[in-house]
Structure 1
Amino acid sequence: MESSIDNVIGLGLLRQPKEVYFGPGQRFQIPRIVESLGEHALVCTDSRMADTDDFAEIARTIESRGVRVSVFAETEPDLPRSNVMALQKRYAEADVDVVIGVGGGSCLDMAKVAALVLAHGGDIRDYYGEHLVPGPGLPLLTVPTTGGTGAEVTCIAVVFDADRGMKVGVASPHLEAYAAFVDPELTLTCPPGLTAATGADALSHLIEAFTDRSKNPDAEDIQRHLYVGKNRLTDMYCRTGLELLNTSLERVAADPSDLSARADTMLAAFCAGMAINTAGTAGAHAIQSPIGNLTHTPHGFGVGALLPYIMRFNLPARVSVFAEIGRIFGVADPTSSETEQARAAIVRVEEILAALGVPLNLDALGLDPQDFQFVAEQAMLATRLTANNPRPLTAEAIIAILKHGHGDDRSWWDA
């Protein structure tokens, strides 16, 4: 792909579900769609969600249409490969017609890979990487219950492979949902910590997608790669999502029962998912993965803690884009320089994260400085993410970011 980080070819590219239902009460559309797709539905969720009245209602209304419902409620955070193997062993011969994911990002990723392995067999390891899925899986419906990951509309699933000690992505357009049901009422019972972590995740998705590289792919690149760079269509979603999160996250933190704020946050997370589906995430996500493995801290808190420092590192390559974010947030003085407007955007991101209770330094996550080299080496292995970063990332640059982040050094610096 062309080396320029600017979109010189004017590309616009999206990948998306066939149908999206957004708004309070839209979960009641699910039975009608399921009925049209088959007679046996497998619902993937976790133990917390499976015990809720909302989940019981969804299952009951599907069964009222004469559809058999099986439930896999053993999904764990960060989706271990062992979960995928257990589901496959249990349902490989069960004649499942449609898979439904209900829950947070791991539950939705579980549903994606379930639809894949039940259709094509094999070990999930056979599909690690880009475009290795041979064809469509079972029809997939996604029902998010958090406002953050955007996994309801992305065509990637992330699996933690314990033998490799790392998270690995399965990326293919064939993982795209048939339909997504984005109902903010389902987030009202989301615990405060999870609300904060997923909100920070959505914010990080939007910041990274909007400041990513524009890779100017040709036709072959688009066929071979999922993440082909920031483009005109992803930018539209980023602008909308950032405008929404600028007010909604602080409102949710102040009043978790505020349905309007929940709806705005969920719509922003959806926008972020639409953007990262072709733009991809970047440096913060690459660095967070090994930090999360070492510290066992929530993904959203990890990328949130990294954002102040990765933004400062990327600022020289994206001054005008960060300045636009400052104007979207309403914090940039239009009479000041672009650099000052850009810095105002970064400070505003920190204010939003602080309102959510996200730690703003890596020491608070429990990261030990003696692990900086390991984190940098592991992050550099995530080439599908590091390739999106607007400034080239090296192990030395990552160590510099980690040093600033661990020391809570938010001065303006050039790594």
Structure 2
Amino acid sequence: MFGTFRSPNAVYFGAGQRAMLGRVVASFGNRALICTDERLAGDPVFRAMVEDVEAAGVHVAVFGRTIADLPLGCIDEAVAEARAARPDSIVAIGGGSCLDLAKATALVYTHGGRPQDYYGEFKVPGAVLPVIAVPTTSGTGSEVTPVAVLSDPDKTLKVGISDPRLIPAVAICDPELTLTCPPSLTAVAGADALTHGIESFTAIRRDEGANLPLERVFVGKNIISDHHALEAIRLISGALEGAVADGSRLDLRARLMYGAMLAGHAFANAGNAAAHALQYPVGALTHTAHGIGVAALMPYVMRYNLPACRDDYARIAAAMGVPPEDDTAAMAEAGIGAVASLFAAVGIPRTLAELGFEEEKIDWAAEQAMTAARLVHNNPVPLGVEDMKAILRAAHHGDPALLS
């Protein structure tokens, strides 16, 4: 039995929990920078949260210019705002880009240099300014993860900074904040979260050396991540379609947010794999949302990994409510089918061609995907360039049989 669990110092979950934000922020000092985006900055609920923090005796500066996919210039602007505000903590209120911005800003504000200095794993030299993460979507799980993903104009693909010191100090997860998410965003974010659960649950299982968690941010499949991943799969698969159809149902919103947070915990420790590696070049070429790309790819990646994952896929099927079969192989097939059917039901394209991905780009995308070493090496079945091409070809044509 082997497990690794890295997490915020505190996670507060539940409807209305945003009301504690002021007291939480005040516990870190009397100055705070709040990172959000332009839309949320003008929202009455956001303004009420800022007023709550101010009422707790905290001087607040708001950076409301977060840009999706987090370009380097956005981080530079936020760091400049932090240097002017001299905060004791940084509060992130918003989706994944807002949360990642707060992490990257805390890092550069604390240790100096540029974000580029910290690309990769275990490059953060020490503790960073505390981050309080308040997600408003149920998708990335960034409120509990050690990762900040950003866009560098000198890089073709997105890049990441991965270090346990980037895990927020506190996460406040209030599903009421997701009630205004439109159906399309709910679907894409939920699909992203489900892929986190699936890829964490089926990640490679490594030798359980005593130093493994000190040598890798993402240690692979383990008993603790499995617990979180499987429960995330159960919750998200049971709530996603209903929440997309009727976003006013707080019970479904709560299950989605809790599932996304658990999936974040799972991949924060186990890590993701081939679907995420392949999405980076696909997303760069098609300019489509991360969640759409990983979800479109996931059934084909599952098909490729089937020989190594039959037992795991059977357990995924059971978690998704698939009627039991006596045969593990049949249940595994049903698990792949259940994932594909759920994604189709919430509007995720079945093929990469529907995303605008062109067949002649398969070779280039496969080669680029192989550069995401932490993801490639985390896959339960070894991956080479030709394997990546095969997955992309099957996903482009919508033909899993190409992987048989």
Correspondence for 2:199: 208
SS of the counterpart of 1:101? strand
Report the Cα distance in structure 1 between the residues aligned to 2:323 and 2:387, rounded to whole angstroms.
28
1:332, distance to aligned residue in structure 2 (A):
4.4
Aligned pairs for 1:36-51 within 5 A: 36-51=27-42
Which of 363, 379, 384 is the matching residue for 2:374? 384
Which of 189, 202, 206 is the matching residue for 1:198? 189
SS of the counterpart of 1:102? strand
1:220, distance to aligned residue in structure 2 (A):
2.6
For structure 1, which runs of at least 5 residues remain unmatched after alignment? 1-9
SS of the counterpart of 1:37? coil
Counterpart check, 1:147 vs 2:101: no
CA shift digits 1:166-192 (9 cap, x unpaired): 211111111111110000000001122
Aligned pairs for 1:295-306 within 5 A: 295-306=286-297
- Letter matched to residue 213 of structure 1: I
Aligned pairs for 1:14-413 within 5 A: 14-335=5-326, 337-411=327-401, 413=403
Count of paired positions: 404
CA shift digits 1:220-252 (9 cap, x unpaired): 332121011110001111121111122100110
Report the Cα distance in structure 1 between the residues aligned to 2:34 and 2:383, rounded to whole angstroms.
40
Q: Which moved more, 1:181-190 or 1:67-76?
A: 67-76
1:93, distance to aligned residue in structure 2 (A):
4.2
- Letter matched to residue 403 of structure 2: W
Answer yes or no: is the 8 Å Cα contact 1:332–1:342 preserved in 2. Answer: no
For structure 2, which runs of at least 5 residues remain unmatched after alignment? none
Answer yes or no: is the 8 Å Cα contact 1:77–1:106 preserved in 2. Answer: yes
Report the Cα distance in structure 1 between the residues aligned to 2:386 and 2:111, rounded to whole angstroms.
41
Report the Cα distance in structure 1 between the residues aligned to 2:163 and 2:144, rounded to whole angstroms.
12
Report the Cα distance in structure 2 between the residues aligned to 1:198 and 1:216, rounded to whole angstroms.
33
- Letter matched to residue 19 of structure 2: F
CA shift digits 1:40-82 (9 cap, x unpaired): 1111111111121111111111011121111111111111111
Report the Cα distance in structure 1 between the residues aligned to 2:28 and 2:372, rounded to whole angstroms.
36
- Letter matched to residue 71 of structure 2: P
- Letter matched to residue 114 of structure 2: D
TM-score, normalised relative to structure 1: 0.95
Report the Cα distance in structure 1 between the residues aligned to 2:83 and 2:211, rounded to whole angstroms.
35
Report the Cα distance in structure 2 between the residues aligned to 1:214 and 1:178, rounded to whole angstroms.
28
Report the Cα distance in structure 1 between the residues aligned to 2:62 and 2:73, rounded to whole angstroms.
17
Answer yes or no: is the 8 Å Cα contact 1:217–1:228 preserved in 2. Answer: no
1:412, distance to aligned residue in structure 2 (A):
7.6
- Letter matched to residue 137 of structure 2: T
CA shift digits 1:141-197 (9 cap, x unpaired): 000000111100001111111111221111111111111000000000112221111
1:94, distance to aligned residue in structure 2 (A):
3.0
Answer yes or no: is the 8 Å Cα contact 1:308–1:360 preserved in 2. Answer: no
SS of the counterpart of 2:142? coil
Report the Cα distance in structure 1 between the residues aligned to 2:229 and 2:105, rounded to whole angstroms.
30
- Letter matched to residue 382 of structure 1: A
**What's the Cα RMSD here?**
1.2
Report the Cα distance in structure 2 between the residues aligned to 1:49 and 1:350, rounded to whole angstroms.
33
CA shift digits 1:329-370 (9 cap, x unpaired): 2214332x2111001011111121112111111001100111
- Letter matched to residue 32 of structure 2: A
Correspondence for 1:4: none
Answer yes or no: is the 8 Å Cα contact 1:229–1:279 preserved in 2. Answer: yes
Report the Cα distance in structure 1 between the residues aligned to 2:350 and 2:316, rounded to whole angstroms.
20
